[in-house]
Amino acid sequence: MLESVAASSPTMLAEATQPAPKYSAADLGKHYPHRRWMVMLGLMLVMSVGLTFLFCRDCKIWSEDFLVTFGYNFCYTTGLWLANGYPNEWLNRRVDWTVQPIRRFLITLAFSLVMSVLVILLVTGGFLVFYHHRPLSSLTWRPFVVPLLITVVVSLFLHSRSFLLGWREAAIQAERLQKENAQAQADSLRRQLDPHFLFNSLNALTSLVEENDPARASRFIRQLSQVYRYVLDSQEQEVVPLAEEIRFAEAYLFLQRTRLGEGVQVEMHLPPATELETLLVPPLALQLLLENALKHNATSQRDPLHISIRLDAPARTLVVRNTRRPRRLAEGESMGLGLNNLKARYAFLTTQPVSVEQTDTEFSVTLPVLELR
């Protein structure tokens, strides 16, 4: 539906400073791959030497038996580390310990056993054929005992570490989200009675009264009440139905029609409201984009600002576009934190990012839409 509406921008959305990115212990290996390889190789060498002295007490150092035993141990420990370490990191990106611990444990156990048996078979069979010059058919189960014991130790260490790091990261994110929500709520409470918004709204209401238009004045008061009630009710919610957000945006836009007239034209391409009830977005997300469009662009009756709101149902995204006519802002009028705050809120809800595109003539923001299951 096409609505010609006018809007100014009450700053209702809290703009909390996004915290600087921090790397977890699990990410350090990504930033220092050579150091990680050197440390792990050193540990494998130390472990191999220790096992060689343990299982070859009567061997002279640098003798053939000592070197062969060391070769066995080094191949086993390094192979088992690779076979358990990298699949464990691969699983970390697909099955979270903190979300599905039982499923993750079973998958990890299966991966560990299969990969470990393959490594043991490869190392034992290789030494049997190429060093002892015996057929592979003479391989028995006994050579598997000690390597599997090593596997248990290595696996317990790696998987316990992975579980603890995942739990720690989840706890940090939960604490960070709680802090950001507290900051957002405090800022929202502080800005609900924004002087400019109240001043503009009261001026518009005064004009209606002076023009002796009680019906429109009554509707204006109801819409103003609806806007403030929505802000208060949504403070404790992480997501709200898209239908409610759309109704709030319509009320927000109506409040400005009296003052700005046809200075802004908004096109909404949306399905019926009943189809939007199962779709979710963070509260005040749409209002922030409308507010930014009006705050950063010039509007006039002759040359109105065009805004388009479109739901891409197959892609589960809400696309908000506006024409660009940048205007100079007064110092302190915009801190530039609104979109960053919105991106941070989405980061805790979904892996889909908030997409921002800008050209010389158009500014576009694509919001992921969550689905109620």
pLDDT in tens, 260-303: 778 888 899 998 888 888 899 998 889 889 888 888 888 888 88
Q: Report pLDDT for 78.
A: 82
Of 26-35, 81-90, 331-340, minimum mean pLDDT range:
26-35
Domain boundary among 145, 171, 191: 191
User: Token pair for residue 149?
Assistant: 């014991």
Q: Report pLDDT for 244.
A: 92
Assign 3-state DSSP to the chain and report helix, strand, coil percentages, each to 5.
Answer: 60, 10, 30
In 192-241, which residue ranges form alpha helices assigned H by DSSP? Answer: 195-210, 214-233
Domain boundary among 140, 169, 191: 191
Which helix (H) or strand (E) is 253 found in, with range?
helix 242-260
| One domain for residues 165 and 228 | no
| One domain for residues 186 and 211 | no
User: Is residue 23 one of the residues assigned to a domain?
Assistant: no
User: Is residue 77 one of the residues assigned to a domain?
Assistant: yes
Write the pLDDT tens digit of every residue in 4-54: 333 333 333 333 333 434 444 444 444 445 676 677 778 878 888 887 788
Mean pLDDT along residues 118-139: 81
Q: Report pLDDT for 175.
A: 76
User: Is residue 296 one of the residues assigned to a domain?
Assistant: yes
| One domain for residues 266 and 342 | yes
Q: Report pLDDT for 269.
A: 92
Write the pLDDT tens digit of every residue in 62-79: 788 888 888 888 887 788
End-to-end Cα distance, the chain = 28
Write the pLDDT tens digit of every residue in 39-48: 777 887 888 8
| One domain for residues 84 and 232 | no
User: Is residue 16 one of the residues assigned to a domain?
Assistant: no
Provide the mean pLDDT of the chain. 76
Q: How far is CA 318 from CA 246, 313, 355, 363, in A?
A: 11, 8, 10, 14
Burial track 141-164 (b if 16+ CB lie within 10 A, e otherwise): eebbeebeebbeebbeebbeebbe
| One domain for residues 200 and 347 | yes
* Torsion 129-134-138-141 (CA) sign: negative
Spatial contact of 318 and 367, defined as CB atoms under 8 Å apart: yes
Write the pLDDT tens digit of every residue in 339-371: 888 888 888 788 899 999 999 999 999 999 998
User: Is residue 20 one of the residues assigned to a domain?
Assistant: no
User: Token pair for residue 82?
Assistant: 């690779």
Domain boundary among 167, 191, 215: 191
| One domain for residues 310 and 355 | yes
| One domain for residues 123 and 249 | no
User: Is residue 232 one of the residues assigned to a domain?
Assistant: yes
| One domain for residues 141 and 272 | no
Q: Which among 348, 360, 355 has a CA at the least distance from the CA of 319?
A: 355
| Whether the predicted model's global pTM rises above the 0.85 cut | no
| One domain for residues 285 and 159 | no
| One domain for residues 129 and 218 | no
Q: Report pLDDT for 97.
A: 65
| One domain for residues 48 and 131 | yes
CA–CA separation, 229 and 12 (whole Å): 12
CATH of the domain at 247: 3.30.565.10
| One domain for residues 275 and 163 | no
Mean pLDDT along residues 235-260: 84
Print the domain residue range for 92. 34-191
Tally the domains of the chain. 2
User: Is residue 120 one of the residues assigned to a domain?
Assistant: yes
Which helix (H) or strand (E) is 51 found in, with range?
helix 33-55
pLDDT higher than 50, residue 193: no
Q: Report pLDDT for 295.
A: 84
